Amino acid sequence: MTTPTFVPVPRRLIRRLAATVSGEQRDESAIPSYLHWNPFVRWIITRRLQMVTRMVADTLAARTAAAPPAGLDFGCGVGILLPTLAPHLATFYLTDLDLRAASRTADHFAIPNVRLLAADRWAEVIDDGSLAFIIAADVLEHVDDLAGVVRLLAGKLEPRGALIVSGPTETLIYRLARKIAGFTGEYHMRTIFDIERQIVAAGFAPRELRCLPGLGLPTLFRVTRYLRGDGR
């Protein structure tokens, strides 16, 4: 099996995708960050996905299950990770409140093994214990019942499957950076630290943590790969 490496989605395609969703959905999917005039904003939003990709690659490399791998992008936005991860999977599931942009991304890259699942159907469609990994990148700060969602996600992972989570710190420096980038963040219900506590309480154990931007600068995002603490 080949190793996933991050495949950038052309900015011109992202601009076209932005026109298919509401303004709130554009913000929640970080579309303005991928198109921002400031190269640092573009770098950090892309860098977090590069870290996620490498964590997926490590998860797949350590996998011993015989069945071909499947994965879920929970809160997929416009489907930025489709061309990066779908070629390495039997099935790549995507779910979000609005799947129109992700569907267009799948069509653009002619990806046949993607399944787009409505936000109220993914849990009933995906079999328990069937996923090699789940990505929840900058989405869990938005959900209402975080504990319930984390329990559902845990049940879908195969033995030694990984939950890979990224989220904002919501520190004063982060809020300032967010204002510079042009976001309100009013739809964020919690910080990444709140999310991390809930995930650990659900029985997950952190295996790897990366902070962005790094280089001794204040942390704006944290990206963590978790395994179930009971060895699943």
Domains recognised in the chain with CATH numbers? 11-228 (3.40.50.150)
Average confidence (pLDDT) over 38-47? 89
Span 82-137, pLDDT tens digits: 999 999 999 999 999 999 999 999 999 999 999 999 999 999 999 999 999 999 99
205-215 pLDDT, tens digit per residue, is 999 999 998 88
Q: Tell me: the pLDDT tens digits for 55-65?
A: 999 999 999 88
Q: Concatenate the DSSP letters of all residues of 77-107 into one string.
A: TTTTTHHHHGGG-SEEEEEES--HHHHHHHH
- Could you tell me the two tokens for 31? 């579309």
Please, what sign has the CA dihedral across residues 183, 218, 163, 102? Answer: positive
What pairs with residue 91 in β-bridges?
70
pLDDT in tens, 18-40: 888 777 777 777 788 888 888 98
Which candidate, 223, 218, 224, 220, places its Cα nearest to that of 169? 220
Mean pLDDT value across residues 132-144 = 92
Assess whether pLDDT exceeds 60 at residue 184.
no
Residue 159: asked if its preceding bond is cis (omega within 30°), the reply is no
Task: Specify the higher pLDDT residue, 94 or 145.
Answer: 94
200, with CB counted inside 10 A (0-12, 13-18, 19+), is middle
